[in-house]
């Protein structure tokens, strides 16, 4: 067993790697800049965690997903691996202590959000760290061609100037078109970079598109015919509740989930679904990030997603246990008509964006020229109510301001209470002797919280109250007293979304929404929506093949199981025979239209088999009858 397999077995209990994992690990271990394209559920985190554990020093992991960062740090700690995360919402003292520990305290992994990289405190400390690897998760965010561009990602390459030139960069993404693949390598300043692609084909996942007028009625058909748990995705929050209640009335175990719920409610609903108490979760796209439930048997989209990238990620949450699962998109002509409305909502006029920016500055009490680098609690609903704003328009305006690099938004954070002792053990002992009423609580804290003198440690006031037989109110009050007396620093739990101002507040004259960039973003969004529409309307291209080719996989093959393939399978002929006849027909009709009989004769093959393929191509819209009654080729296969 090699050293990488030994690490895998020691910490994760597995004896072998999946597909391209080992290739990626060996590439970064030998100092190569590497880009890994691995679909959702492909095991991306292993590809940087294993080589980092085999190297001396600390691995920096950059990710925009705070919930995912926290989750990975927790998982690493459970395996006995020292890891920390730094993100918006932490106090400056917490960040200071965390960075000190990364320089001196044997931390193996530091997770941080991209906007942290440009702060003075980080740039000063990172020079003192022995960095062995930089892993960039969700690396498609660096590309303006990508579907989730974030300007703060463009600063990542500046790390090259602060670190040893031999430190390799590993970029990871589940979804990247060929343009994005090239852009990631350029923006991260890859030197002789290597690219590894895991196949985008999911052999156990059956993609289906159903063109139906009554989507809700068809949803019941899916639920009744596919046993096991599932996710139903819809576009708006109200609809999640409406569909979940409809399913409940028919006796199905269902619940709803969206970003407007409190963190407690979201955690409870997610837990009920993951443990099987709830069979079906009806959700917006806020559901799914970091969720790893292997036995999801179906994912149904009642509304058309914004892009093939989003669809591939969401559909890919089905069948991670490698058993048969279904990804079903329910579509009708109304979806096509709604695209124009969607574009208008996603791209408010620049003047409206400016108005919302100024309202935000007033709401947060930020003076002109102030606010740079500051983080503010932010409640979108309260903001929109106060300024009588349409919530969808306000949200999308803030997203455009984010893409312009003026601010960054985070979803609601679940930040538990944390404490750290500010005095040394001798000073603490003297305090305990002088304050006998605090002695019992301090001893409980010391017993329950190892490491509390050198780093911030999460606490649960309820658990401390239970352990000390003190009322929870007394525990909280005592912690506040200890904090006021500078014995500890106590940060009570808080659950709130945040906005970070990356630039000082500007007046209308200096706030620029670049017209060219605005139009470019709008056009690229339109291109992605149209690609999704094309996927829904196409009847001639295998669904799995369509998605694989969209992401640049040129050697993809028919899955044989999707709705397009099963229709083609009914022709009762091999792929080779079908493709040969098809190419012959295409070659003839692209030169000139002709009558059916002449086309059959011209192909010089079995007339019955040729007629079958012609009928299939007519049914799928590739051959059409023109105004003169002749068959003509409609579009390229």
- Measuring CA to CA, which residue among 12, 26, 79 is closest to residue 55? 26
Mean pLDDT of 535-545: 89
- Could you say which DSSP state residue 501 is in? E
Residue 552 lies in a domain: no
The pLDDT, as a whole number, for residue 567 is 81
Which pLDDT belongs to residue 171? 96
How many residues in the chain?
Answer: 637
Q: How far, in Å, are 112, 274, 427 from residue 47 at the CA level?
A: 18, 26, 45
Q: 388 — alpha (psi -120 to 50), left (phi > 0) or beta? A: left
Give the percent of the chain with pLDDT over 90.
50
d(CA 167, CA 368): 41
Asked if pLDDT for residue 506 goes beyond 90, the answer is yes
pTM given for the model: 0.78
Distance CA 240, CA 287 (A): 11
Which has the closest alpha carbon to 62: 85, 40, 96, 33? 85
Nearest-angstrom CA–CA distance, 492 and 113? 22
β-strand partners of 34? 170, 194
Give how many domains the chain has, as a whole number. Answer: 5
Strands in 380-466 per DSSP E: 407-415, 417-421, 457-459
CATH number at residue 610: 1.10.10
Bridge pairing between strands 58-62 and 83-86: unpaired
Phi, psi of 533 (to 5 degrees): -65, -40
Residues 19-39 as b/e (b if ≥16 CB within 10 A, e otherwise) read: ebbbebbebbbeebbbbbbbb
The residues, ordered by sequence, that sit 6+ positions from 32 with a Cβ below 8 Å of its Cβ are 168, 192, 193, 194
Residues 232 and 298 in one domain: yes
pLDDT greater than 80 at residue 289: no
* Confidence grade of residue 637 (pLDDT, cut at 50, 70, 90): very low
Average model confidence (pLDDT) for the chain?
Answer: 89
Tell me the sheet residues that pair with 631. 594, 625
Residue with tokens 């658990």: 463
Domain membership of residue 554 (yes or no) is no
pLDDT over threshold 80, residue 569: no
Is residue 142 within 8 Å of residue 154, measured between CB atoms?
yes
More confident residue, 325 or 176: 325
User: Is the residue at 18 inside a domain?
Assistant: yes
Over residues 554-565, the pLDDT tens digits come to 888 888 899 988
Give a yes or no: residue 556 inside a domain: no
Q: What is the mean predicted confidence (pLDDT) over 487-502?
A: 85
Pair (105, 154) in one structural domain: yes
Rg of the chain (C-alpha set) = 28
Vertex 275 angle, CA 285 and 44, to 5°: 55
In this structure, what is the dihedral angle of CA atoms 260, 263, 268, 270, given to the nearest 10 degrees? 70
Residue 558 lies in a domain: no
User: pLDDT category, 33, cuts 50, 70, 90?
Assistant: very high
Contact 154, 114 (CB under 8 A): no
614 vs 609: CA distance, rounded Å: 9
Within this chain, do residues 41 and 123 fall inside the same structural domain, yes or no?
yes
pLDDT tier at 413 (50, 70, 90 boundaries)? low
CATH number assigned to the domain comprising residue 353: 1.10.10.10
- Contacts for 315 with CB less than 8 Å, ≥ 6 apart: 205, 207, 299, 301, 327
Segment 95-113 shows an average pLDDT of 91
What integer pLDDT is reported at residue 636 of this predicted model?
46
Do residue 266 and residue 381 come from a single domain?
A: no
Is 360 in the same domain as 218? no
pLDDT band at 252; cut points 50, 70, 90: very high
Domain identity same for 41 and 54: yes
pLDDT digits (tens, 9 = 90+) for 424-456: 999 999 998 999 889 989 999 998 888 889 889
In a shared domain, residues 139 and 121:
yes
Question: Do the domain assignments include residue 232?
Answer: yes
Show the domain range for 362: 340-415+497-513
Q: Quick one: average pLDDT of 49-71?
A: 91
Residue 107 and residue 41 share a domain: yes
Whether residues 153 and 143 fall in one domain: yes
Tell me the HSE value of 219 on the side-chain side, using a 13 A CA sphere: 25
417-421 and 280-283 beta bridge pairing: unpaired
* Residues contacting 521, CB < 8 A, separation 6+: 144, 149, 347, 400, 403
The predicted structure's pLDDT at residue 35: 96
Pair 296, 380 in one domain: no
List own/partner pairs for 353-357 with CB under 8 A and 24 or more apart. Answer: 353/397, 353/400, 353/401, 353/513, 354/508, 354/511, 354/513, 356/389, 356/393, 356/394, 356/397, 356/398, 356/401, 357/397, 357/401, 357/406, 357/511
- The band of 1, judged by pLDDT with boundaries at 50, 70 and 90, is low
Q: Per the domain annotation, does 625 fall within a domain?
A: yes
- The residue out of 160, 180, 197 marking a domain boundary is 197
Poorest-confidence range of 223-232, 243-252, 486-495, 615-624? 615-624
Query: Dihedral of CA 301/303/305/310: which sign?
Result: negative
DSSP, residue by residue, 318-387: S-TTSS-EEEEEEE-HHHHHHHHHHHHHHS--HHHHHHHHHHHHHHTTPPTT--TT-EEE--HHHHHHHH
Check the CA dihedral 534-539-541-542 and report its sign. Answer: positive
Domain holding 180: CATH number? 3.40.50.300
pLDDT of residue 521: 85
- Of 481, 513, 545, the residue that ends a domain is 513
For residue 282, what are its two tokens?
């009806």
Task: Assess whether 397 and 457 both reside in one domain.
Answer: no
- Are residues 421 and 410 part of one domain? no
Range among 38-47, 381-390, 494-503, 562-571 with highest mean pLDDT value: 381-390
Q: Which residues pair with 135 in a beta bridge?
A: 61, 170
Which whole number is the average pLDDT over 105-118? 89
Q: Is residue 548 part of a domain?
A: no
């Amino acid at each position: 067993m090699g050293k990488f397999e030994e690490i895998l077995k020691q910490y994760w209990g597995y004896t072998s790697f999946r597909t391209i994992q080992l290739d990626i690990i060996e590439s970064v271990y030998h100092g190569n800049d590497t880009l890994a394209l691995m679909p959702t559920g492909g095991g991306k985190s292993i590809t940087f965690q294993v080589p980092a554990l085999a190297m001396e020093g600390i691995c920096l992991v950059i990710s925009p997903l705070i919930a995912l960062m926290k989750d990975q740090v927790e998982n690493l700690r459970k395996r006995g691996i020292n890891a920390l995360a730094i993100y918006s919402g932490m106090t400056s003292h917490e960040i200071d202590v965390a960075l000190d520990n990364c320089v001196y305290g044997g931390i193996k992994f530091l997770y941080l959000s991209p906007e942290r990289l440009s702060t003075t405190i980080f740039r000063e400390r990172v020079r003192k760290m022995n960095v062995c690897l930089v892993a960039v998760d969700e690396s498609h965010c660096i590309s303006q061609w990508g579907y989730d561009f974030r300007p703060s990602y463009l600063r990542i390459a500046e790390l090259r100037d602060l670190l040893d030139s031999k430190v390799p960069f590993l970029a990871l993404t589940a979804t990247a078109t060929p343009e994005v693949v090239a852009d990631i390598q350029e923006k991260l300043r890859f030197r002789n970079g290597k690219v590894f692609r895991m196949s985008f084909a999911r052999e156990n996942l059956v993609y289906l598109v159903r063109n139906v007028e009554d989507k809700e009625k068809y949803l019941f058909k899916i639920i009744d015919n596919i046993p096991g748990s599932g996710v139903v995705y819809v576009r708006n929050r109200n609809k999640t509740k409406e569909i979940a209640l409809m399913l409940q009335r028919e006796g199905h175990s269902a619940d709803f989930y969206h970003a407007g719920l409190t963190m407690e409610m979201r955690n409870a609903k997610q837990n009920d679904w993951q443990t099987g108490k709830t069979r079906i979760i009806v959700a917006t796209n806020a559901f799914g990030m970091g969720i790893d439930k292997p036995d999801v048997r179906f994912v149904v989209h009642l509304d058309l997603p914004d892009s093939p990238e989003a669809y591939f990620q969401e559909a890919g949450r089905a069948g991670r246990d490698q058993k048969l699962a279904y990804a079903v998109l329910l579509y009708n002509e109304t979806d096509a008509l709604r695209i124009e409305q969607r574009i208008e909502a996603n791209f408010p006029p620049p003047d409206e964006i400016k108005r919302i920016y100024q309202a935000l500055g007033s709401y947060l009490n930020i003076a002109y020229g102030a606010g740079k680098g500051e983080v503010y609690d932010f409640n979108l609903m309260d903001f929109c109510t106060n300024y009588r704003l349409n919530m969808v328009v306000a949200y999308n305006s803030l997203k455009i301001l984010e893409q312009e690099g003026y601010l960054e938004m985070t979803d609601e954070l679940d930040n538990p209470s944390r404490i750290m002792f500010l005095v040394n053990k001798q000073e603490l002992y003297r305090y305990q002797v002088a304050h006998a009423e605090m002695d019992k609580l301090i001893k409980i804290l010391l017993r329950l919280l190892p490491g509390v003198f050198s780093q911030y440690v999460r606490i649960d006031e309820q658990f401390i109250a239970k352990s000390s037989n003190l009322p929870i109110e007394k525990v909280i009050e005592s912690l506040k007293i200890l904090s006021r007396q500078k014995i500890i620093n106590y940060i009570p739990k808080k659950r709130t979304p945040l906005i970070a101002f990356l630039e000082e507040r500007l007046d209308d004259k200096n706030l620029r929404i670049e017209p060219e960039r605005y139009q470019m973003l709008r056009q690229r969004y339109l291109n992605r929506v149209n690609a999704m529409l094309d996927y829904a309307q196409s009847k001639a291209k295998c669904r799995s093949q369509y998605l694989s080719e969209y992401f640049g996989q040129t050697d993809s093959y028919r899955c044989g199981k999707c709705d397009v393939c099963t229709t083609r399978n009914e022709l009762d002929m091999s792929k080779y025979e079908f493709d040969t006849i098809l190419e012959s027909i295409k070659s003839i009709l692209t030169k000139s239209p002709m009558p059916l009989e002449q086309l059959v004769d011209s192909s010089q093959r079995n007339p019955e088999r040729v007629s079958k393929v012609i009928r299939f191509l007519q049914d799928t819209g590739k051959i059409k009858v023109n105004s003169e009654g002749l068959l003509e080729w409609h579009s390229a296969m």
